[in-house]
A and B are shown apart, each in its own frame.
Chain A
């Protein structure tokens, strides 16, 4: 290294959250997990986790009671 040249100081290492701090673990019954494993065979879902995340995002976009409303609509109670 040429004399007089000083390497710039590295910026302070930013604290990057570790992967595991960005996720939480959910427990589901084993029969349900096995059922989900069978359900995603041949689909684009690579894991039950991926499938569960998809379903959860989809259901959260619906308001509570929407499935009940669908039944009421199908039976003619509401338009």
Chain B
């Protein structure tokens, strides 16, 4: 198993016996409310998912990450994990101060030991991280809506958020113990935001052929209208694993973080996260973490050339489809037949079928998975 990124699994979680005292003490500090996405980032930092980060980036690391895709110690890191604040929120806050980060209801989530408060260039940030300043890109829109200053410093998690998916919430420490218990020396991580179809299954099983175990790691969080609900995705995967995978070779746990849609940079970020979970390999397909047509289809694979020191091994897959001539799921590299034989895995087509209560073709979706999808009255985010 690979060591965590940076060599050590970060643990910024307050021990249980200190929590009550910390909750009381937290009322003495200035308070800053964070949204759901930031709350997830805080937990990810605290439990080591974002190792080696121990808090929100300070200016030096921020500038290096934005412009050079590395931390100031030269460790690969491609997405800035930052905490923004408005003038009202950071007024009077200086380096050395402690502030309490709260949820929208005012409950304390974490303490932040502020190292510095600094300004930044939003346009420069968007252009470097997303490769564009087009406001149609969701990441660009979010960047320009960020507040004026950034607060850098270490966090200490006081309280973990409640979540209905507790069964699937494993920390990197837990996944590492799990993989070791299963006797897995090599593990491939698979990221998904969707219900499983045969294309996904094909990629997972091809990857699994070369390693000891498969770690299916759906990203759970903010959804767009028309996406499948998180609970539908998890139940669909449970059905797939139960019926089509050897019990000791595949496990699933969730990753709670927002999608940035930063394409290539986010592919590296996602690979680092799975390295922290204990994976030795990571699947990168066509247009990983992309949106619209902002990134060339295989840019998220090519960027790995810039990081020979990443540690985790990417497994690259070309676009896959069902070929009626081959009679199975294939990809561009291994199918010699005319495109007229292809059936693409179309999300739109699938939604249309399900909306009518019809099971999709079995060459696209396993019947057991279709049964799960059809069981839900409203499987889509509205």
Task: Report which A residues bind B (CB closer than 8 A).
Answer: 29, 31-32, 35, 65, 68-69, 71-72, 75-78
Contact = CB atoms under 8 A, between A and B. Distances in A.
Interface residues of B, number: 13
A35 to B, nearest CB: 6
Given A68-B174, A72-B174, A78 B17 contact: no
B18 A71 contact: no
Contacts of A35: 17
A32 B182 CA distance: 36
B17 A32 contact: yes
Contacts of B167: 75-76
Contact of B177 (A29, A68, A75, A76): A68
A31 B181 contact: no
B181 A69 contact: yes
A78 B21 contact: no
A79 B363 CA distance: 34
Interface in B146-174: 167, 170, 173-174
A65 B177 contact: yes
B178 interface: yes
Nearest to B173: A68
B251 A77 contact: yes
A29 to B, nearest CB: 7
Interface in B41-94: none
A10 to B, nearest CB: 53
B276 to A, nearest CB: 16
A78 to B, nearest CB: 5
Nearest to B247: A79
A71 B168 CA distance: 12
A36 to B, nearest CB: 9
B242 to A, nearest CB: 11
Contacts of B182: 78
Contacts of B177: 65, 68-69, 72
